[in-house]
Chain A
Amino acid sequence: MAKRIDAKNVDIYYGAFHAVQDVSLTVEPRTVTAFIGPSGCGKSTFLRTLNRMHEVIPGAHVTGSVQLDGTDLYAPGVDPVAVRRVVGMVFQRPNPFPSMSIFDNVASGLRLNGVKNKGVLSDAVERSLMAANLWNEVKDRLGRAGMGLSGGQQQRLCIARAIAVEPQVLLMDEPCSALDPISTLAIEDLINQLKESFTVVIVTHNMQQAARVSDQTAFFNLAAQGKPGRLIEVGTTETIFSNPTEKATEDYITGRFG
């Protein structure tokens, strides 16, 4: 059920501002790809074009193509809502719906897409919470508010909510940046399990995290402030961290800049 992503010559603009220039990369199914690079280099922006979330910002547009198993996400007539059902997303800060209980949060994606059958919903909630390693902590209080959980639990709740709709690809935009090391470890373990069934793309500022969880690493950088961000180098995580081709990648990874 995981899908392969092919991005070709992707350029991203916000109005007249050229945010990301000419990115081409391939993400294989059932792998974890990490995007690293300094702030403002366009890695989050590029991530958001993979499920057309950047379109939420007025004036954003994209040239080039992003294909999911050969289907172009930017072909005319493609509904961004349908794209997001297949390509899910987890955000930087945990954002459970405050008006909903833990159960309702996880069920929300299915419910809002028209699933009413209670059995189907509770099966999906249990399965997703188990997959997100949260079931044992919350199984006795599914009716309580999602906002009452700790930050790490909230983020796992959001992951459970994202995987409950059974997407093919899961995008994670710095999912651990608001979490403590123990919660971070829990999420990283989770990512390792998730890649058995999903294609995962994760943006991270934490180099060790990229090295720990990803199979492939892509390094983004920008020439100067105001210039578009570019993909400098992409390769297996092992290669990028031990033997990068580009000087800039090596400098960034070894902490000499950025």
Chain B
Amino acid sequence: MATATTSDTTEAQLSFRRPSGARTVKNALATVYVGVATLLALIPLVWVLWTVVSKGARLVFSSTWWLESQRGITPRREGGGAYHAIVGTLEIGLICAVIAVPLGVLGAIFLVEYARGTRAARVVSFTVDILSGIPSIVAALFVYALVITILGFGRSAVAVALSLVLLMLPVVLRSTEEMLKLVPDSLREASYALGVPKWKTILQVVIPTSFGGISTGVMLGLARVMGETAPLLILVSYAVGINFSPTSATMGSLPTMINAGRDVAPGLPGYDRTWAAALTLIIIVMLLNLVARGIARATKLKEK
């Protein structure tokens, strides 16, 4: 068939006619489909954002919101802020990151630099893939069973952080793994050829080369777990006051603050605070994403 076409074009005169009518119509239809699909996908996103911003912005832009807790404030009373919940969310996120980031990055280094292509690496990768599909409530119940029922500790922010580690670890490990795999072997060889040992090659050549990608993965993993709610409901009690201790049984957090205010009637001050808490959570997650982009840009490999 290919030869027939070639001989046709060589014998017949070449013609660059306008596309046929059917093709023009198909092209127009496809363009419309694609455009409409994009718009439809954007509608819920913009809608949610608009609702949260319009209902929550007033409180979020007041200074007391960032400085005061909800201690002694009822849904019918004005005032107070989300400081207790912001502290709790950031503290839990920090504990989670402190545990998950070293484990994930070191695990990825093992898989890519030391065990690449081995059976062990395939088994671990596969397990991590399964782990990344775990629903957050299952992670929370697992930690409840292990830490609280079997080991006998009380409910605490640490327990929440542990269950979030189960959710964040696969994200960090897999993204780091992919980033390390992108580093060309020629760079490792160049380093070995200078008489540099393997561990120094990893620390000084491989990781700096992939640092932007690794930190982006960490930030996105963190952003993912900051909004998780199920572990907070199961593993710690919501507190309206300020508490810095990660081992106490109560701690505020933004998702549970939203949950606590979900049945407040519209028009009451508590109703506005619930929306403001939602907006605050979105802002924090957005800031993490921006930081991730900032790091990626700042550490982008120089090309000039």
Which positions in A face B, CB cutoff 8 Å?
51, 53, 56, 58, 81-86, 88-91, 93, 95-101, 108-109, 111-113, 144-145, 147-148, 158, 161-162, 165
Minimum Cβ distance to chain A for residue B296 (Å): 14
- Judge if B209 is at the interface, Cβ distance under 8 Å: yes
- Residues in B with CB closer than 8 Å to A158 are 190
Contact partner, B194, options A82, A88, A147, Cβ 8 Å: A88
Q: Which residue of B lies closest to A55 (CB)?
A: B192
The secondary-structure label for the interface of chain B is: helix
Q: With A95-B184, A112-B204 in contact, is A144–B302 under 8 Å at CB? A: yes
Q: Most chain-A CB neighbours within 10 Å: which of B184, B189, B194, B205? A: B194
Query: Bound complex: CA of A112 vs CA of B191, how far in Å?
Result: 9
Contact partner, B187, options A82, A85, A97, Cβ 8 Å: A97
Contact partner, A145, options B187, B189, B302, Cβ 8 Å: B302
The 7 closest A-B pairs by CB, nearest first: A85-B195, A145-B302, A109-B194, A89-B193, A99-B208, A95-B186, A98-B301
**When the two chains form their complex, are residues B304 and A144 in contact, meaning their CB atoms are under 8 A apart?**
yes
Contact partner, B117, options A56, A58, A165, Cβ 8 Å: A58
Which positions in B face A, CB cutoff 8 Å?
117, 184-197, 200-201, 204-205, 208-209, 211, 301-304
- Residues in A with CB closer than 8 Å to B187 are 95, 97-98
Minimum Cβ distance to chain B for residue A141 (Å): 10
Query: Bound complex: CA of A122 vs CA of B136, how far in Å?
Result: 54
- Residues in B with CB closer than 8 Å to A112 are 191, 194, 196, 200-201, 204
Q: With A81-B195, A145-B302 in contact, is A99–B190 under 8 Å at CB? A: no
Query: Bound complex: CA of A128 vs CA of B177, how far in Å?
Result: 35
Minimum Cβ distance to chain B for residue A212 (Å): 25
Minimum Cβ distance to chain A for residue B208 (Å): 4
27 A-B pairs, CB-CB below 8 angstroms?
A: A53-B189, A53-B192, A53-B193, A56-B189, A84-B193, A88-B193, A88-B194, A89-B193, A90-B193, A93-B186, A95-B184, A95-B187, A96-B190, A97-B191, A97-B205, A98-B302, A99-B205, A100-B208, A108-B191, A109-B194, A111-B204, A112-B200, A112-B201, A113-B195, A144-B302, A161-B194, A162-B194
